[in-house]
Amino acid sequence: MKFVDEVKFHIKAGDGGKGCLSFRREKFVPRGGPDGGDGGHGGDVLFEVDSGVNTLLDLRYRAHYKAGNGAPGMGKTRHGKNGDHLVIKVPPGTLVYDDETDELLGDLTETGTQTCLLRGGQGGRGNARFTTSTNRAPRHTQPGIPGEERILRLQLKLLADVGLVGLPNAGKSTLISSVSAARPKIADYPFTTLVPNLGVVRYGDFGSFVMADIPGLIAGASSGQGLGTRFLRHIERTDLFLHLVDLSGMQEGEPCDNFATINAELETYNPALLERPMLVVFTKSDITEVREEIETLRPFFESKGYKTFAISAVTGDGLPELVQATGRELARIRSTEALDSPHWEE
């Protein structure tokens, strides 16, 4: 399935139906009087968060969306039918912007919820509504009110607990395929991963977390180099980073310098990202030269306060320990957030 994380389209709520101009004409009923009914209300535009939707692909191929219009009122004070609501299903983590003002209209994260972002127009009143003691035969009605309309821009920021960061070919895709059911493309050249990949990782007896493999992090990514800012936004919602460091010599530059480069790009894109907890993961530990260099570099990272792990996604060495430590760290983060919540004191 093609991954689409940004779409733009014109959308309009339904117009209200016009009120009816009508008078009673019944046998043996003199001066029947007005009986025009009200018009129906236009349909609203609702956005529903559906966990079964993973991309905005289905919204890419339509330029216009419109909810149903309200039907006109009818005689015998009959109310016109209300217009059908338009329900648009989006994946969790969708941001809805007004494209003209750049106003954030909704941040849709909770699965199963519906949010009304555009209201349908109210139906016009029929002439029966305007009867007074001095105007017993009003001929005045109201037209329906037009529904709201906007040009919307939808952006998807993936909801994940753990984000994998690192230079291309650091082993991110191999790691997520080893600890979850995700099956990203894996090859020995840069930018093999062109779209984010999500995988559910199980740990302990009943625990689980969602891991995201984010592509395109190189020097200059925050200014658009490589895949750049196109996918950097997907890591903004993660609670924990696993920074993968490759010591096999396949990447240019010193490992410590490469580590600092990626962190600098995260900070440039959003300074708050470096405040998130981060675990350092040395990959490809099945290679003898890599194991030797790990022991050399481990004190450097630990002196800066990072917990370090050595893994081989090929042989499975270190993977159980990394998964369990990641689960424990997430539990610690969430317990801390719960204590800091203002509702805790209540």
- pLDDT of 51 reads 83
Same-domain pairing of 340 and 234: yes
Same-domain pairing of 283 and 208: yes
Same-domain pairing of 173 and 57: no
- pLDDT tens digits, residue range 274-312? 888 999 999 888 888 888 888 888 999 999 899 999 998
Number of folded domains that form the chain: 2
Same-domain pairing of 148 and 220: no
- pLDDT of 191 reads 47
Q: What is the CATH number of the domain that holds 143?
A: 2.70.210.12
Spell out the residues 6+ positions from residue 105 whose beta carbon is closer than 8 angstroms to its own: 96, 97, 98, 117, 152
The residue out of 156, 182, 207 marking a domain boundary is 156
Same-domain pairing of 188 and 267: yes
What is the rounded CA–CA span in Å between residue 164 and residue 17?
53
Question: What does the block give as tokens for 44?
Answer: 């609203």
The residue out of 156, 172, 189 marking a domain boundary is 156
Q: What is the CATH number of the domain that holds 242?
A: 3.40.50.300
Same-domain pairing of 199 and 113: no
User: Which phi-psi region, left, alpha or beta, contains residue 216 (left: φ > 0; alpha: ψ -120 to 50)?
Assistant: left
- pLDDT of 286 reads 85
Same-domain pairing of 212 and 145: no
| Nearest partner of 244 among 338, 183, 167, 321, judged by Cα | 167
pTM listed for this prediction:
0.72
Same-domain pairing of 2 and 121: yes
- pLDDT of 199 reads 81
- pLDDT of 163 reads 86
Same-domain pairing of 257 and 290: yes
- pLDDT of 1 reads 44
Residues of the chain with pLDDT under 50: 1, 187-193, 221-223, 226, 344-346
- pLDDT of 187 reads 45
User: Which domain covers residue 313, as residue numbers?
Assistant: 162-345
